[in-house]
Structure 1
C-alpha cells in the first residue's frame, strides 16, 4: 500500500514532468516556426527606437504580424540623429555619449521575444546622416571650403562619407547589433546629402574616388565582418536609383550598391516622384503603376549585372504606408493603396517588401 504522502509526491512528479514536456514541445514549435518564417520571403515593417521601447506599442505591432502575412521588423539601432537606441559597449559610442538616452531598455530581450514569435529581425543603422557624431567630432564632418562645418537645409551637419574613421564607427555599431542577435543589418542614408555636388564643400578624399566608389567601398568593407558573424546585409537607396543613369550626386548607383549587399531596398514611395515621371500624371495617385515601373527597371538592372558575371542583391523595396498630405491633402493611403503596391510586386514576380510609416502606424489588413 502506498502512503498518502507517496501518492501526493508521485502526482506532483507526474504533473511536473508533463509541464516540462509541454514546455519543451512549445519551445521546439516556436523554434520551428521561427526557422520556417525566416526561410520565407521578408515582409516587414519599420519600427522606431521609441516605439520598440514601448511594451504596449510592441504588443500591438506583434499582434499585427500575427494576423497578417508580415513576418519581419526593421528596428532603429542608430537613428537619423546619430543616437543609439540602446546602451552600447562600443568605446567610440561611449566616449561621445551617443547612447546616453536609450529608447530600448533591454534590446536583447526584445530580439529574443521577436525570435520566439518567428519574426525576422533587421537592425537599421543610419550611416552618413549623423549630426551627433558630426557635432561631437567636427573633424569627421563635411566642411565648406572656408573651413566651417557644412549643414543641410534643416541646419544639421553630416559626416564625410570618404572618412574611413566614419566607416569604422558605423561598422562597429553594426557588429554589436549583430552580436546582440539581429538577423540582418540594414544601412540607411548610405549616401551623400542631396544637392551636395553644387555646394562649395570639400571632402577628405585622399583616394580621388568619385562618390559612387566611396559608397561601394564602404559597403564592401562593412559586409565582410557582418557575414563572418552570420548576418545578412542590406541597404536603402532612393527610389529613382532603379531608373536613373547616374548617381544623382549622392553616390548611389544600382551597380555600386546591388553588388555589395544581400538585399537592396529602393524607397519607391509614389508620393516622392514628380508629376510626369514614368509618363504618370500624378504618381501619388497611381501606386500600382509607379511600383510596377520602378521594379521593371530594377529587375532589368539586376539582369545586366548577372549577365556580367556579378551577383546582384535581392530586390526588397520600401513601400509607402503613409499619407503624403503635402502632395494631395485629400488622398489617404490605407490598406487599398498598400495592396496595390504589393500587387505590382507580385505581378513582377517579386515577393519581398518593407512598409514605411515614420509613426509606425500601419493600416494593413492582409
Structure 2
C-alpha cells in the first residue's frame, strides 16, 4: 500500500450548494457593514431566494434559554462508542485507530455513499492521488441517510436508507481513507414539523418558514441539541471517525420576523453551548473529534456573525476544527442586479473584490489570512482551520461574474490554503464529480 494515512482497526466490522455565505454589502464611503436580512436590501433578498436555487453545502413560549435549561426528554445513548479508546493528537484527541491525518477531502451526499460505483471511484482517486478523506452526509434536510436504531429518530425523524454505514465506512477504512460524518443540525424541517414545540416561531407565534416553506428547529432548545448529539453518537458506533456539524447557526432574516422566546441569551451563547456539549459527549467521552462548518463572512463582518450566532473568536473555542465555507461565488459582486450582486463588491482582508468568482486564489488566500489574524488574538483557541473550497461552477451568477471551475481553479484555492499557512481542505461539489487532475499524484 502506498504511503498514505493508514487505519488499524480496534473495532469489529459493524457500521447540497447553499452553505451559502451571507454576502455583506459595504458602503462605498464607509467600512460600516449591515446585518443581512430578508428586507434590508435587494441583495439580501436575492441571497435569501438563492437557497432554493443553489441548494446548500423550530414553541416560542416553551423554548428554554441555553443558559437556563437543565435537562431534556431526549436521552443521549451512553453505550454507543463501539468500545473505542481515544488517542491524543493536536492538543485534542483524534479518533481511535486513526493516525494523525492532514485532511485532503471531498464531500459525498447520501446517494453517492450508497452507490458502489461512486464509492469505488473515490477509492481509486485516493489510491492514485493525495486524497485521503471523505465527508459523508449523515443527516440532511431532517432525514438520516441510513437506518437508525434510535427510538427518537423513529418517532420524530425520517430515514431514507441510502447506505449501510458499517459497510461503506469499512470499505473506506480498508483503503486508508478517513471518514467524517456531516450532520445538518438546526435546519431540520422534519423534527420541526413533528415537534412544533422545538421549532422556531414567527412574530405571530406560528411556525417560521424559510422562503415560505422550510421550518427550522430552535437552536436555543437543549432538547434539539440532544437530538443531534444522539444521532452523532450513534454514528460514531457505526464507525465514523469525526463528526462535522453543519447549519450550526440561526437562520438569516429580519429580527422582527422571529420569536425565540423570552429572556433568551445572545445567539452565540446557544451555538457555543451546543458545540461545548457536543464536544463533551462526543470527544471527551467517546474520543471522536468534533468539527463545525461556519459562514466565511463572519471573519469579515461582525454583524453577520452576530445575526446567526457564529463569532469567529468563539465558535472554535471548544472543538477540534472549524471549516469556513470560502466559496468565491458566495461573496458579493458589483453587478447591478442578479444573485450575490450589490453593485459594489466584497471587502476581504481590506481588499475590494468586485468579481470574486474570477479570483479564487486571492479570495481564498485573503479570507484565510484574515481568519488567522483574528484567531491569533484569542488566547488558547483550540480549533484548527480546515476550509471548504469551491469545486463547482456558479452558473447562477450574472454573466461575466463567474467562470468554469476546473483543475486550475481548484488547485489555485489549494495553493492559497498552503500559502496562508494552513494544511487541510475539503472540496465541495454538490454533484460529487471530482477529477483526478484536481489533486497531486500520490508520492
Which of 422, 425, 429 in structure 2 is aligned with 1:350? 422
* Cα deviation digits, residues 41-95 of structure 1 (max 9, x gap): 101011001110111111112212222211101101111x100011111111011
After superposition, residues 150-169 of structure 1 pair within 5 angstroms as 150-153=208-211, 155-169=213-227
- Is 1:193 the counterpart of 2:251? The answer is yes
What is the distance in 2 between the residues matched to 1:205 and 1:126? 26
- 1:254 aligns to what SS in structure 2? coil
What is the distance in 1 between the residues matched to 2:271 and 2:413? 29
The CA deviation at 1:96 is 2.4
The CA deviation at 1:301 is 1.8
8 A Cα contact 1:163 1:204, kept in partner = no
Which of 250, 267, 273 in structure 1 is aligned with 2:308? 250
What is the distance in 2 between the residues matched to 1:75 and 1:285? 29
Partner of 1:322: 392
Partner of 1:335: 407
8 A Cα contact 2:166 2:239, kept in partner = yes
* Cα deviation digits, residues 171-193 of structure 1 (max 9, x gap): 10011111111110000000011
8 A Cα contact 2:200 2:217, kept in partner = yes
TM-score when scaled to structure 1?
A: 0.86
What is the distance in 2 between the residues matched to 1:38 and 1:84? 28
* Cα deviation digits, residues 272-306 of structure 1 (max 9, x gap): 0112323122100000010011101111122111x
What is the distance in 1 between the residues matched to 2:374 and 2:382? 9
8 A Cα contact 2:298 2:311, kept in partner = yes
Partner of 1:9: none
Moved more, 282-291 or 252-261: 252-261
- Is 1:213 the counterpart of 2:269? The answer is yes
Partner of 1:301: 374
What is the distance in 2 between the residues matched to 1:204 and 1:88? 32
Partner of 1:21: none
The CA deviation at 1:225 is 1.0
CA RMSD of aligned residues (A): 2.0
How many correspondences in the alignment?
331
Partner of 1:103: 162
What is the distance in 1 between the residues matched to 2:322 and 2:436? 23
Alpha-carbon spacing, 1:204–1:32, altered in 2? closer, same or farther (3 Å): same
- Is 1:233 the counterpart of 2:290? The answer is yes
- 2:176 aligns to what SS in structure 1? coil
* Cα deviation digits, residues 298-338 of structure 1 (max 9, x gap): 11122111xx3x23311100000000001155610011000
List runs of 5+ in structure 2 lacking aligned partners.
9-96, 334-344
Alpha-carbon spacing, 1:252–1:31, altered in 2? closer, same or farther (3 Å): closer
Alpha-carbon spacing, 1:363–1:226, altered in 2? closer, same or farther (3 Å): same
What is the distance in 2 between the residues matched to 1:152 and 1:135? 13
- Is 1:71 the counterpart of 2:71? The answer is no
* Larger RCO (alpha carbons 8 Å, 6+ apart): 2
The CA deviation at 1:256 is 2.3
8 A Cα contact 2:267 2:306, kept in partner = no
The CA deviation at 1:155 is 1.1
- Is 1:131 the counterpart of 2:189? The answer is yes
Which of 222, 245, 261 in structure 1 is aligned with 2:278? 222
Query: Which structure features the higher share of helix residues?
Result: 1
What is the distance in 2 between the residues matched to 1:140 and 1:354? 32
8 A Cα contact 1:265 1:317, kept in partner = yes
Q: Which has the larger radius of gyration?
A: 1
- 1:57 aligns to what SS in structure 2? helix
- 1:355 aligns to what SS in structure 2? strand
Which of 325, 334, 338 in structure 2 is aligned with 1:267? 325
What is the distance in 2 between the residues matched to 1:154 and 1:178? 35
TM-score when scaled to structure 2?
A: 0.71
The CA deviation at 1:34 is 2.6
List runs of 5+ in structure 1 lacking aligned partners.
1-25
What is the distance in 1 between the residues matched to 2:390 and 2:212? 23
Partner of 2:237: 179
Partner of 1:40: 101
The CA deviation at 1:144 is 1.4
What is the distance in 1 between the residues matched to 2:106 and 2:375? 24
What is the distance in 2 between the residues matched to 1:350 and 1:251? 25
What is the distance in 2 between the residues matched to 1:42 and 1:314? 11
